[in-house]
Amino acid sequence: MARYIFITGGVVSSLGKGLASAALGALLQARGFSVRLRKLDPYLNVDPGTMSPFEHGEVFVTDDGAETDLDLGHYERFTGVPARQTDSVSSGRIYSTVLEKERRGDYLGKTIQVVPHVTNEIKEFLKIGEDEVDFMLCEIGGTVGDIEGLPFFEAIRQFAHDKKRGQCIFMHLTLLPYLAASGELKTKPTQHSVKELQSIGIAPDILVCRSEHPIPEKEREKIALFCNVRKEAVVAAYDLKSIYEAPLAYHEQGLDQAVLDAFDISPAPAPNLAMWHDVYDRIHNPEGHVKIAIVGKYTQLEDAYKSIAEALTHGGMANRVKVKIEWVDAELFDREDAAPYLEGYHAILVPGGFGERGTEGKIKAAQFAREKKVPYLGICLGMQMAVIEAARNVAGLAKAGSEEFDHEAGGKRFEPVVYHLKEWVQGNHTVARKADDDKGGTMRLGAYTASLKPGSKVADVYGSTTIEERHRHRYEVDTKYRETLESAGLLFSGMSPDGKLPEIVEWQDHPWFIGVQFHPELKSKPFAPHPLFADFVRAAVEMSRLV
């Protein structure tokens, strides 16, 4: 039966709860325990799939096709445990399940209430898979005191009450602001935040205090006394140069020991942190750098491409170089020459995206990379852009475009080289979609197998001809144009096993130009960089030696 660690936050948002949870997961693994991490989000959307990246940052897709919070990306990157559909839930999902049950008559005529019906549904969610791991880490989104969060706090309180003593602990993240005028760290907001928790029946066992300055012993004692936690359980979280230092930094501050003590696990197995020391070394001692442009639409908000930025960092670690990412807004050169914006980069990446805005710029970026022989990685929309560019400028299909951008003109503006996917095979059954389906959860989502052409660049990069990667898209390159495009030099080097859906394209007379219909970035880890990103950065390093 799993032990539960509930992670909550107070004082302000964006304290790095997700990162603290992920790092703690990694530390427990380093001590030989198995872990699973979960996120409970108080917002009312059923999942973040329909939210704009400006609202929510990236949508992280799991193997089993859930569209989840980007914190699940952190969890996977730190623990390597593939997240599942059942590792992410929102108030919206809980309420919609409760209401479905009510309509079915499952509650036998009872009045439906937040307590117990909504809280029971949350508790059921928490129990899923409780026999599978040693530790279940459950992070509650938002901060204590938020109206939407209350049912979750009530549910975890009850959950711990229902379980045996010592099976659940509460870890609370707060901020110690620094007052420069008096040169002091202030503990009052932390005290208030803990009071707020206590008023809803939760007494934290561990406090993780974010601080820009070292926490003096006196302040630590004060926090312990006023917040009713052991002094050793007041753990400092200082700012880090890289998120991947977090496991070592938290270990140094005693977080994992405090957790094991709170569960009375003694003697505590010694941690093996060799892997994290290697990660640290690769990040802090690069032997050079490369400059890579990400040409996208949401460039003001780096969280929109979180996993891509992380995967590039991992690619850098694989090659012992620092990857300097520069965000280039594709709209800037929708109608202009792209060269002034793209010259000087050692590689160009065009990420996934939705809608027409900025796509002419992205097409120009693909053209620039092809003509100038700059390494190019096109992901999802970035692959579709590369195919449209090839069709227009090399294969002579001047009007090539995507159905995604052609709704109003009724399909007349473009010759649709990329079409709306209506049917595909998932496992043993066929999935069907219509253009007017609901927007939420209806894309081709999750892990699908692709077969790679022996002898192709990607087969070489992956070292295999069968791969499995995660998808999230509605549109697909039309195989009707395969022959035309292949005779122009664009090889369809990866296909779905039934041969119907192009998964990868690559230019044959180019040092490194690959477009993939899936999202490889979602599977990259600092301790296991994704082969495509590792090789893309290697190609960028080669490019940097030429210019």
Compare residues 43 and 475 and give the one whose CB is closer to ligand GLN.
475
Phi, psi of 27 (to 5 degrees): -70, -40
Q: Which is nearer to ligand GLN, 353 or 515 (CB)?
A: 353
Cβ closer to ligand GLN: 477 or 490? 477
Choose one: 9-17, 108-116, 346-354, 424-432; the region binding ligand GLN (CB under 6 A). Answer: 346-354
- Catalytic position from the list 67, 76, 310, 521: 521
Number of chain positions touching ligand GLN (CB under 6 A): 10
Residue 316, annotated ligand binder? no
- In angstroms, rounded to a whole number, what is the distance separating the alpha carbons of residues 542 and 510? 13
Which residues, other chains included, contact 210 with Cβ-Cβ below 8 Å and sequence gap of 6+? 15, 16, 173, 174, 175, 176, 237, 238
Please report which residue ranges of 31-81 form alpha helices under DSSP H: 53-56, 71-79
Pick from 10, 57, 296, 352: which binds ligand GLN (CB under 6 A)?
352
The response to whether 100 counts as a known ligand-binding position is no
**Residue 175 and residue 12: Cα distance in Å, rounded?**
7
List the x/- string, 286-325, binding to ligand GLN by CB under 6 A.
----------------------------------------
Report which residue type is found at 530.
H
Under the binding rule (CB under 6 A), the answer on residue 354 touching ligand GLN is yes
Q: Is 362 in the site for ligand GLN (CB under 6 A)?
A: no
Query: Under rule CB under 6 A, which residues in 393-452 are in contact with ligand GLN?
Result: 404
Q: Which helix (H) or strand (E) holds 382?
A: helix 381-393
Q: How many CA atoms lie within 13 A of 128 on its CB side?
A: 16
HSE toward the beta carbon, residue 169, CA cutoff 13 A = 20
User: For tokens 């477009």, what's the residue?
Assistant: 515
| Residue 235 binds ligand GLN (CB under 6 A) | no
Task: Tell me the window of 188-196, 221-229, 349-357, 449-457 that interacts with ligand GLN (CB under 6 A).
Answer: 349-357
146 is in an annotated binding site: yes
The whole-angstrom separation of Cα 379 and Cα 292 is 15
Whether residue 380 lies in the annotated active site: yes
Residue 62 marked ligand-binding? no
Among candidate residues 505, 512, 521, the one with its CA nearest the CA of residue 543 = 512
x/- binding map, residues 454-473, to ligand GLN, per CB under 6 A? ------------------xx
* Active-site position among 380, 471, 510, 530: 380
- Please, are residues 119 and 91 in contact by the beta-carbon 8 Å criterion? no
Question: Which CB, 50 or 191, lies closer to ligand GLN?
Answer: 50
257 assigned to a ligand binding site: no
Q: Which is nearer to ligand GLN, 262 or 350 (CB)?
A: 350
Q: Which residue from 70, 54, 64 is spatially nearest to 86, judged by alpha carbons?
A: 64
The reply on whether position 144 binds ligand GLN by CB under 6 A is no
Residue type, 384: Q
Shortest Å distance, C-beta 348 to ligand GLN: 16
Which H/E stretch holds residue 41? strand 35-41
Whether residue 76 contacts residue 83, with contact meaning beta carbons closer than 8 Å, is answered with: yes
Residue with smaller CB distance to ligand GLN, 358 or 531: 358
Told to check if 59 binds ligand GLN by CB under 6 A, we report: no
Pattern of binders to ligand GLN over 178-217, x per CB under 6 A?
A: ----------------------------------------
Q: What is the C-alpha to C-alpha distance for residues 227 and 245, in angstroms, rounded to an integer? A: 28
- CA-based nearest residue to 249, from 220, 276, 285: 276
Give strand pairing partners of 507. Answer: 490
Is residue 51 annotated as involved in ligand binding? no
Q: Among 374, 381, 400, 522, which residue interacts with ligand GLN (rule: CB under 6 A)? A: 381
Query: Is residue 353 involved in binding ligand GLN (CB under 6 A)?
Result: yes
Closer residue to ligand GLN (CB): 184 or 356: 356
Q: Which of 249, 185, 195, 192 is nearest to 221 (CA)?
A: 185
* Minimal distance, residue 486 CB to ligand GLN, in Å: 21
Helix 150-162 / helix 91-104 crossing angle, nearest 10 deg: 80
Smallest gap from residue 82 Cβ to ligand GLN (A) = 19
Closest separation between CB of residue 472 and ligand GLN, Å?
A: 5
16 token code pair: 């790095």
Per the annotation, does 17 bind a ligand?
A: yes
The SS3 assignment for 416 reads: strand
Question: Is 521 among the residues known to form the active site?
Answer: yes
Listed in sequence order, the residues at least 6 apart from 470 whose beta carbon sits closer than 8 Å to its beta carbon are 61, 62, 63, 446, 447, 518, 519, 522, 523
Positions annotated as catalytic residues are 380, 519, 521
Residues tagged in the binding site annotation for L-glutamine: 353, 381-384, 404, 474
- Which residue ranges make up the site for ligand GLN (CB under 6 A)? 352-354, 380-381, 404, 472-475
Residues tagged in the binding site annotation for Mg(2+): 71, 139
